[in-house]
Structure 1
Amino acid sequence: MVMSKGLIGIDLGGTTTKMAFLNEDGEVLEKWRILTDISDNGSHIVPNIIKSISKHIEDSGKTTDDFIGIGMGTPGAVNRENGTVSEAFNLNWKTTQPIRKDIQAGLGLPFDLDNDANVASLGEYWKGAGSNEDDIVFATLGTGVGGGVIANGKLLHGVNGGAGEIGHITVQPNGYLCTCGKRGCLETYASATGIVRVADDMAKEFNGTSRLKELIDDGDEKITSKLVFYLADNGDILANQVVDRICFYLGLALSMIGNTLNPASIIIGGGVSNAGNTLLQPTTKYFQQNAFPSVRDSTKIKLAKLGNDAGVIGAASMALQFR
């Protein structure tokens, strides 16, 4: 009997790097994480990944021959043809990094990489909320807002790698200034940091009684998006107004995506999606108000299913191409 070979997935983040061994069916066999060491211009990141994977292969009594290949999701701008990453500022990489060359040399396995949001969308498509569908859009709400588009079972990249940049759909003309340089991007409202910014601004104009307003005015406790949703769940009027505004912007952006692509599902993931129905219900309402009727009746808004594993699972799925 021929044993099937395994896949290796890497989800590189600014704080931690998650890694996993999977089988060809997408089951996670082993997973672990290491701290991402961004010191010395991020020069330790790739050597640490190579060292950690080599050790885990050895410890599990396997060799590289037992694996098909490696896939990785990374922040920054990915050049898939050259296997390089640039503009990954949260990794302290100031110059273009030859990731594929270094990892293939270090581990002797074929390697592919893509942007982290694209890779998470592959995970949800393969094993998560979109696993029965050929057309999905994935929106990840975390420190920023990212996304991925899968059409006819293929990840879309666009002519310059910009497909799926849904965090930069303008939802409020002349709104908040975004790190990308333009104003009113969805990311400035619906990311974890954006939600806090909206809460701060709305608190200034709010006159009623609200625990959220008290906390913001006192300035003692660090306001987080998680706290805003928690207070909204517990009936805080201001927190509910903040959530309603954020969900309006999110639903509006998702309706534009729906009207353009009419996917089977738009899947919401990332840390902010842990708010569950408190986020999903108003977002769906505003999506339906702004979507074209045939889109409204066919595209579903769903919560992601894989949580923190979406990245490593999606990354591993990229290694299947080396079979």
Structure 2
Amino acid sequence: EHSHGGELGHLRIALPEQGRLCGCGARGCLEAHASATAVVRRTREALAAWRGPTRLRDYYTATDAELTTRVIFDLAESGDALALQIVDETAYYLALGATAVIAVVDPEMIVFGGGMAEAGEGFRARIDAYVRRFGLPYPSRQVRIALAELGADAGVIGAAGCARQLILGDGRI
């Protein structure tokens, strides 16, 4: 009715005084903590303070490449301690948002897309474990946590599908 429903990225997962600043101007939004942009930002901040060995530092010092979630998730899967920490924190944040959705909507499935879609089974399993740990016992065990199969382009593909349906279909989405 107000055109703002479904903005799950703006669920508050942290107290405003402890949360990160979101692009919407609020603090503590899920998007500010766990979007692909936020993962890269948190990794850069952690890398500046990290004193242990990490291939994240080695990789970027040697190649001067742009930091991406794909590299962070790949290094986590290969056992890099800093990348694992970032990925685990991200799974934690996403699970906090998912448990709020589960408590209110009771969905059969929650699908994570965007920059998280290509993170892999290990990441999905981490989110699932946190959901089961933090959520209401019965609904949290019933919901299926999945990563979008269309990858980071899922939103664009979905929008194109909606446009196609509007043009070729009966005008309904």
Return the letter of the residue paired with 1:181: G
**Alignment: residue pair count:** 165
For normalisation by structure 1, the TM-score amounts to: 0.47
Say yes or no: does 1:292 pair with 2:136.
yes
2:9 match: 167
Deviation at 1:281, TM superposition (A): 1.1
Q: Which stretch of the first structure deviates more once superposed, 223-232 or 290-299? A: 290-299
Say yes or no: does 1:271 pair with 2:119.
no
CA distance in 2, matches of 1:220, 1:261: 44
Deviation at 1:277, TM superposition (A): 1.1
Deviations 1:9-30 (A, max 9, x none): xxxxxxxxxxxxxxxxxxxxxx
1:227 match: 71
Q: 1:201 to 1:279 in 2, by over 3 A?
A: same
Work out whether residues 213 and 238 of structure 1, in 8 Å CA contact, stay in contact via their aligned partners in 2.
Answer: no
Gaps of at least 5 residues in structure 1 are: 1-158
Say yes or no: does 1:202 pair with 2:46.
yes
CA distance in 1, matches of 2:39, 2:142: 29
CA distance in 2, matches of 1:160, 1:222: 38
Deviation at 1:273, TM superposition (A): 0.8
Q: 1:210 to 1:322 in 2, by over 3 A?
A: closer
CA distance in 2, matches of 1:259, 1:274: 26
1:322 match: 171
Work out whether residues 203 and 216 of structure 1, in 8 Å CA contact, stay in contact via their aligned partners in 2.
Answer: no
Deviation at 1:297, TM superposition (A): 2.3
Deviation at 1:314, TM superposition (A): 3.7
Q: Which stretch of the first structure deviates more once superposed, 209-218 or 256-265? A: 209-218
Larger fraction in helix:
2
Q: 1:218 to 1:192 in 2, by over 3 A?
A: same
* Percentage of pairs with the same residue: 33
Matches within 5 A, 1:238-277: 238-277=82-121
Deviation at 1:254, TM superposition (A): 0.7
Work out whether residues 69 and 115 of structure 2, in 8 Å CA contact, stay in contact via their aligned partners in 1.
Answer: no
Deviation at 1:168, TM superposition (A): 0.8
Q: Secondary structure at the match of 1:176?
A: coil
Return the letter of the residue paired with 2:110: I
CA distance in 2, matches of 1:267, 1:314: 18
Work out whether residues 232 and 239 of structure 1, in 8 Å CA contact, stay in contact via their aligned partners in 2.
Answer: yes
For normalisation by structure 2, the TM-score amounts to: 0.84
Over aligned residues, Cα RMSD in angstroms?
Answer: 2.2
Deviations 1:79-120 (A, max 9, x none): xxxxxxxxxxxxxxxxxxxxxxxxxxxxxxxxxxxxxxxxxx
Return the letter of the residue paired with 2:5: A
Work out whether residues 32 and 38 of structure 2, in 8 Å CA contact, stay in contact via their aligned partners in 1.
Answer: yes
Gaps of at least 5 residues in structure 2 are: none
Q: 1:231 to 1:260 in 2, by over 3 A?
A: same
Q: Secondary structure at the match of 2:70?
A: helix
Match of 1:310 among 158, 162, 168: 158
CA distance in 2, matches of 1:275, 1:322: 35
Matches within 5 A, 1:135-146: none
Say yes or no: does 1:187 pair with 2:31.
yes
CA distance in 1, matches of 2:141, 2:56: 36
Deviations 1:211-250 (A, max 9, x none): 1134467793321111111111111110000000011000
